[in-house]
Chains A and B, each alone.
Chain A
Amino acid sequence: MLGRPREYILAISVLAVLTLGGWFAPLNYRALGNLYLLVVIAVSLRISPVPAFVMAVVSGLAWNYVFMPPKRLAFSTVHLEDSLLLITYLVAALVASQLASLRSLSYRAELLAASDRLHRTLLASVSHELKTPLAILRAAGEQVDTPDAEKRRRVAHEMGSAVHRLDGLVNNILNQMRLEAGTLRVRKDWCDVRDLVDAACRSVGERLQEHPLNVGIPGEVPLLHADAFLMEQVLANLLLNAAVHTPAASPIHVSAGTTGASRHGPGRIFICVADEGPGIAPDVRGRLFERFERGPHAPADGLGLGLMIVRGFMLAQGGEVEVQSAPGIGCRFTVSLPAVKCEELPQA
C-alpha cells in the first residue's frame, strides 16, 4: 500500500522531467495542467496507491508554483481554485485507475479459474467421449474378418456410426476452440432457410432416422442473411440434441417464420427446433448454454458443448437463441436473426 522507495523515485523524477520540459516548451499553463493530468494517470497505473496520491498532490502544487500566472516560480493565490480543481481531478483519476486495475485482476483470476476448470472437465469428458467410439472401432476392427457375411455387415455399420459420432465430437471441439480463441470468421451471405435445414439434417445423418421429422417452413419466409456454415452447425446441434434426448419415434418439429415486422423494420427471422421429450427442468435452463453443462438425465454420449456452440455461433452472427420448455411436454429452441431486406432482382 505504502509503496516502495523505487516508486517514489520514479514519480518524482517523472514530475521533474515534465516540469523542466514544460519550462522550455511554448505551452500555456492550462495545456501544461492537462499534461500533468495525463502523466500522473499513466504513471499511477504502474505504482501503488500512496505514492500515486503523493505524486498527484505534488504535481498540483508544482504546477501552481512553477507555471501559474501572474508570476512563475511563486505560489499563485489568484488561481487557487484552479489548483484545487486540478488536484481533485488527479485524485479522481487515481481512484478510477486503481478500481480498474483491481477489477482486471479479479477478472483475470476468474478467467484463470474458469480455464482451469475447463481443462479439467475437457480432459475428463474428452477422454471418456472420444475413447468410447475408439473402443467400438477397435472391437469392430477385430471382428471384420468373420466369415459370417451378415455379421460383417453389422460390424461395418457399427464402425460407420462410431466414426460419425467421433467426427461430430471432434467438429464440436474444434468449433468450441475457434469460439474460445476468438478466431471465428463470420461470412454472411443470403441463405434459404430450407437449404440450411436440409444440410443440417444431412450432417446429423442416421441418428435422426429414428424420429419422424416435421418440417414446416412457409414459402414466404424471406432469405436469411447469415453464415451458412455456422447456421448448419447450429441447426445440426439442435437437431442432434432433439434426437438424442428424446425416446425413439418421438417426433421433432422444425419451423420458421418472421416476427415483429412492422413499418419501422423488417423484424426478425426465426427457426425453431422443438421436440416432445421430457423437457428441461427450470433450474437447469439457466445454465443450459454453458459449456460442459449436461442435463441430469442426458444419455451417455455428448460433451455438453452443443448448446454452447449454438449460442456462440448465433451471437457471433448478431443473433440470439432462446429456449422454452415444459417438463413432460418437450422443449423448443428458437434461434433468430434480424431480418435484412435484400435488394430487388434485376428483370430477367
Chain B
Amino acid sequence: MSMVESKPDVLLIDDEPQLRRLVHSALSEAGFAVRVAETGKLALGEVVLRAPDVVILDLGLPDIPGAEVLRALGSLCSAPVLILSVFGEEKDKVSALEAGADDYVTKPFGAAELVARLRALLRRSLASAPEPVYCFGPIEVHLASRRVLRDGQRVRLTSLEFALLNMFISNRDRVLTHKRILRELWGPAAEDRTHYIRIYMARLRSKLGDPGGAASYFQTESGVGYRFVGRPPLAEKAAGPKSGGLAT
C-alpha cells in the first residue's frame, strides 16, 4: 500500500460493509488516505502496523466491546478517536467520550459533517502551540494576558469564566463532556455538579453576547456536553457548514 505522504491517514473501524464503502469513498474524495478494518482485532493490527493520524470507531463491533477497543487504541497510539454512535445508546457514547474518545457523530450522519469533524480533530492534534490571540465573531481573546475584548471593549471575566473559555478555545470543534469540564475546573469531587456548568455557561454567554440558538458559539449536546464552534471571522471554510442534511 503506497500512500502520498501529505494525506492524513484515517483508520475506519466498522463492521458494516456498505457503510465502510461509502465512508471510504467520501473520505478519499475529501483527501484522506483511508484504511478500513471490520473488527476490533484487525483494527488493532492495523494500528500496530502503522499509527494512523485519526481513527473512526463504531462502538458496536462484533468481536471486542467498543470500550476495550478504545482503551487498546489509547495504549497503542495517540491518534484522536471519533466515535460513530447510534440513537438510544447515549450512555455508551458519553462513557466513550469520558474514556478518551475525542468526538462523536450519530448515525445516520452526513459525509460533510464527518469530514468537518475529522479535519477539526486533525487541526487540533497538529497545532500544539496555541495562538496568542484567538478571535471569533466580535470577540478577541488574548490568551497570555487573559484579556477578552468584545467589539474592542474590555469584557471582565472572573478567573473561572476565563478558564472555561480557555478550555473551550483549546478544544474547539470538539465535544467537551460535562464531567470533564467539572473535573478540570472544579476538581474530581465536583464531577456530578452539572449546575455549576449551566450557571457559568449562562454567565459566559451573556458576557460574550452569544447569539444563542443555532448561531451560538457554544453548541449544546444534550446530556453530553458542549461543543465550541466559534471561528475566526476570516477563517477558511475548511470545516464547512454543518448542514450535512443527513445529520440528526
Contact = CB atoms under 8 A, between A and B. Distances in A.
Interface of A: 156-157, 160-161, 163-164, 167, 170-171, 174, 178, 185, 187, 189-192, 194-196, 198-199, 201-203, 205, 215, 219, 223, 227-229, 231-232, 342-343, 345-346, 348
B198 A190 contact: yes
B101 to A, nearest CB: 18
A232 B223 CA distance: 9
Contact of A202 (B159, B160, B214): B214
A201 B213 contact: yes
B244 to A, nearest CB: 8
Given A190-B194, A190-B195, A228 B222 contact: yes
B222 A231 contact: yes
Contacts of A191: 198
A192 B91 CA distance: 20
Given A198-B213, A198-B214, A198-B216, A229 B199 contact: no
B220 A164 contact: no
A178 B193 CA distance: 28
Given A342-B195, A348-B158, 9 more contacts: A167-B248, A171-B248, A189-B178, A195-B222, A196-B220, A196-B222, A198-B212, A229-B223, A348-B159
B196 A345 contact: yes
A192 B201 contact: yes
B4 interface: no
A195 B91 CA distance: 19
By DSSP majority rule, is chain A's interface helix, strand, loop, or mixed? helix
B220 A195 contact: yes
A227 B224 CA distance: 11
B214 A171 contact: no
B221 interface: yes
Nearest to B206: A219
B241 interface: no
Contacts of A342: 195
A187 B90 CA distance: 11
A171 B193 CA distance: 29
B1 to A, nearest CB: 30
B166 to A, nearest CB: 14
A198 B220 contact: yes
B146 to A, nearest CB: 15
B246 interface: yes
A178 to B, nearest CB: 7
A305 to B, nearest CB: 14
Nearest to B192: A189
Contacts of B196: 345
For the complex of A and B, list the 6 residue pairs with the smallest distance between their C-beta atoms, beginning with the closest: A160-B245, A190-B195, A229-B223, A195-B220, A228-B223, A348-B160
Given A170-B87, A174-B88, A192 B222 contact: no
B108 interface: yes
12 contacts: A164-B245, A170-B87, A187-B91, A189-B223, A191-B198, A194-B202, A202-B219, A229-B223, A231-B222, A342-B195, A345-B195, A348-B158
B108 A167 contact: yes
A191 B223 CA distance: 9
A223 to B, nearest CB: 5
Question: Which among B159, B197, B248 has the greatest number of chain A C-beta atoms within 10 A?
Answer: B248
A281 B35 CA distance: 58
Question: Which among B88, B91, B206, B219 has the greatest number of chain A C-beta atoms within 10 A?
Answer: B88
Contacts of A189: 178, 194, 223
A211 to B, nearest CB: 14
A167 B107 CA distance: 9
